[in-house]
């Protein structure tokens, strides 16, 4: 859907897709590595993206980052697996 509705209007866009089909842990590790290899960091160790397209939950939440979730404490990772989210899906890569 992103390809059909957005990328046709963004000539030259470079897309880095999270491979969610790998499962949360493997997808997060693979995406972190991909970004570090292909995207420049800006003054720090984390890659900097121009645009990040996030899903939006039915209640307006994004990225499955909810209060008190252990994923919020992770530092130094460009992507982290999220477990036990209170909204579907309970496990994801963000």
**Which stretch of 5-14, 19-28, 74-83, 85-94 has the lowest confidence by average pLDDT?**
85-94
Where does the pLDDT of residue 22 fall: very low under 50, low under 70, confident under 90, or very high at 90 and above?
A: very high
Q: Where does the pLDDT of residue 94 fall: very low under 50, low under 70, confident under 90, or very high at 90 and above?
A: low
> How confident is the model over 1-12, as pLDDT tens digits?
777 888 778 888
SS3 8: helix
The pTM (predicted TM-score) of the whole model is: 0.76
39-79 tens-digit pLDDT: 888 777 888 888 888 877 777 777 777 888 888 899 989 89
What b-and-e string marks burial along 59-84, b requiring 16 or more CB atoms within 10 Å of the CB? Answer: eeeebbeeeebebeeeeebbbbbbee
Give the closest residue to 56 by CA, choosing from 46, 67, 48, 64: 64
Count of all residues that appear for the chain in the document:
94
- Contact in structure between 62 and 54 (CB atoms under 8 Å): yes
């Amino acid at each position: 859907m992103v390809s059909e509705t957005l990328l046709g209007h963004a000539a030259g866009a470079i897309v880095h897709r999270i491979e969610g089909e790998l499962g949360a842990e493997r997808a997060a590790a693979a995406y972190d590595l991909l970004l570090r290899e292909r995207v420049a960091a800006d003054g720090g160790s984390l890659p900097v993206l121009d645009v990040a397209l996030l899903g939006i939950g039915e209640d307006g939440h994004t990225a499955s980052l909810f209060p008190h979730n252990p994923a919020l404490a992770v530092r130094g990772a460009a992507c982290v697996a999220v477990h036990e989210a209170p909204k579907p899906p309970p496990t994801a890569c963000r």
